[in-house]
Structure 1
Amino acid sequence: MGRLFLFVFIIVVMQRLVELVVANRNEKWIRSKGAIEIGASHYKWMVLMHTAFFISLLIEVLVFDRPLSPFSGAFVAVFLLMQVLRVWCLLSLGKFWNTKILILPGANVRKIGPYRWIRHPNYVIVTTELIVLPLLFSAYFTAGLFLILNIWMLSVRIPAEERALREFTNYNEVF
Structure 2
Amino acid sequence: MPAYAVLVLLVAAERLAELVVARRNAAWSRARGAVEHGRGHYPVMVVLHTALLAGCLIEVYGAHRPFHPALGWTAAAVVAAAQALRWWCIATLGPRWNTRVLVVPGLPLVARGPYRVLRHPNYVAVVAEGAALPLVHGAWITAACFTAANVPLLAVRLRCENAALDTAAPPRVAAPAR
1:165 maps to which residue?
A: 165
Q: Which runs of 4+ in 1 moved over 2 A?
A: none
Q: Secondary structure at the match of 1:34?
A: coil
Q: Secondary structure at the match of 1:37?
A: strand
Write the deviation string for residues 17-58 of structure 1: whole angstroms up to 9, x where unpaired.
011011011011111111000000111111111111112112
Structure 2: segments with no counterpart, 5+ residues? 174-178
Q: How many residues align?
A: 172
RMSD of aligned Cα (Å): 1.2
2:176 maps to which residue?
A: none
Percent of counterpart pairs with the same letter? 42
Paired letter, 2:141? F
Write the deviation string for residues 94-116 of structure 1: whole angstroms up to 9, x where unpaired.
00000000011111112010000
TM-score if structure 2 supplies the norm length? 0.93
Paired letter, 1:10? L
1:142 maps to which residue?
A: 142
2:172 maps to which residue?
A: 174
1:132 maps to which residue?
A: 132
CA contact (8 A) 1:37 1:102 kept: yes
Q: Measure the CA separation in 2 of the matches of 1:66 and 1:34.
A: 49
Structure 1: segments with no counterpart, 5+ residues? none
CA contact (8 A) 1:69 1:135 kept: no
Higher helix share: 1
TM-score if structure 1 supplies the norm length? 0.94
Moved more, 17-26 or 80-89: 80-89
Moved more, 10-19 or 50-59: 50-59
Q: Measure the CA separation in 1 of the matches of 2:62 and 2:95.
A: 40
